[in-house]
Amino acid sequence: MKLVTTSVVRGSHQGESHGGVYLLDLESQAVSQKLDWNTAAIDWQGRGWDRGLRGIAFDGDVVYVAASDELFAYRPDFSLIGSWRNAYLRHCHEIAVHERRLYLTSTAFDTVLGFDLDAHEFSWALHLAVHQFQFKGNVFDPRLADGPLPLNKLHLNNVHSTQGGLYVTGLKTGGMLLYNGERVQMSVELPPGTHNAQPFRDGVLFNDTEADALRYTGRGEGREDRALKVPRYPADALLNIDLDQSKVARPGFARGLCVISDTVVAGGSSPSTISVYDLKANTRLLSVNLTMDVRNAIHGLAVWPYD
């Protein structure tokens, strides 16, 4: 089995790589880099912003990878098929495919965009906001110029789609929201700073980023709670601590998550490390480090469906 991951290099300089795409063979623990993201056409102001590559999703033999403001399509050998932009796609984080639509979190606009996988266009969008202490969802057409302003009030960073609706999480949503096609409601409250939250079994699986841990909380009979710490490294083993101009890169930052089976999941952390966890045994099975550069953080993570 292989995993595919993207990375963001925070605090990198123009002309340097600021992320890439990697394949990890879990059996041999060998890592191969498939893309090196070093374009100069990015915004260099604050946090990770335009740097690096973000969410990963699949549609048949097409691999979709999101950058900050552009969606790319590749063949499984990572030869480029095409790319698409939209005025409401900015500071994208995670993406997800459900039926014939690909959903993208547009963090700057507090919006989830819908990309039609057959027409190859952004044709649907959901703007989320808080009104009188309640979450509201407004559906709009991203092909028109009457959408929301880029206020980034909720910092949406994850979307997970099922037959029951869209699950959306942000750093400032207070938990995982569910849009069922008519209204937005709180599905489950979560700690601040959460990434990659998604329904799993009878509970929720997520990265508790502020606690440097991957967590699963069940809600059924015989409730199961797991909190597995991400790997930590000696301070003298870390590289480029003094080069982080953004001042936000730090070791132990937990982000990137995918399900391997009903009991085994994989998660990412910084400096870029992928770990596999057995929830039932409450243990970390293995960890593979890509680099000790503390600026280099895992972003997207998925099971590779090819080969």
Burial class of residue 10 in the structure, from the number of CB atoms within 10 Å of its CB (0-12 exposed, 13-18 middle, 19+ buried): buried
Residues 148, 149, 153, 156: is their CA dihedral positive or negative?
Answer: positive
In this predicted structure, what is the pLDDT of residue 17? Answer: 54
For residue 209, the domain's CATH number is 2.120.10.30
Give the whole-angstrom CA distance, residue 255 versus residue 270: 8
Q: What is this structure's pTM?
A: 0.92
Number of domains in the chain: 1
Give the per-residue pLDDT at 45: 44
Residue range of the domain that includes 161: 2-303
Model pLDDT, residue 234: 93
| Contact residues for 154 (Cβ-Cβ < 8 A; gap 6+) | 110, 128, 129, 130, 170, 171, 172, 173
For residues 293 and 186, give the distance between their C-alpha atoms in angstroms, rounded to a whole number: 37
Contacts of 205 (CB under 8 A, 6+ apart): 196, 197, 198, 199, 214, 215, 216, 257, 259, 265
The DSSP symbol for 273 reads E
Print pLDDT tens along the chain (307 aa): 999 999 988 655 444 556 899 999 999 999 999 998 765 444 434 444 446 799 999 999 999 999 999 999 999 999 999 999 999 999 999 999 999 999 999 999 999 999 999 999 999 999 999 988 899 999 999 999 999 999 999 999 999 999 989 999 999 999 999 999 999 999 999 999 899 999 999 999 999 999 999 999 987 665 789 999 999 999 999 988 776 555 566 889 999 999 999 999 999 999 999 999 999 999 999 999 999 998 889 999 999 999 8
Task: Give the pLDDT confidence score for residue 11 in this predicted structure.
Answer: 56
Tell me the C-alpha to C-alpha distance, in Å, between residue 162 and each of 33, 46, 199, 231. 31, 34, 9, 31
DSSP state string for 103-135: EEEEGGGTEEEEEETTTTEEEEEEEEEEETTEE
The per-residue pLDDT for 242 is 72
pLDDT at 291: 92
- The span from the CA of 219 to the CA of 176, in Å, is 14
pLDDT number for residue 15: 42
Extract the tokens encoding 227.
């909190």
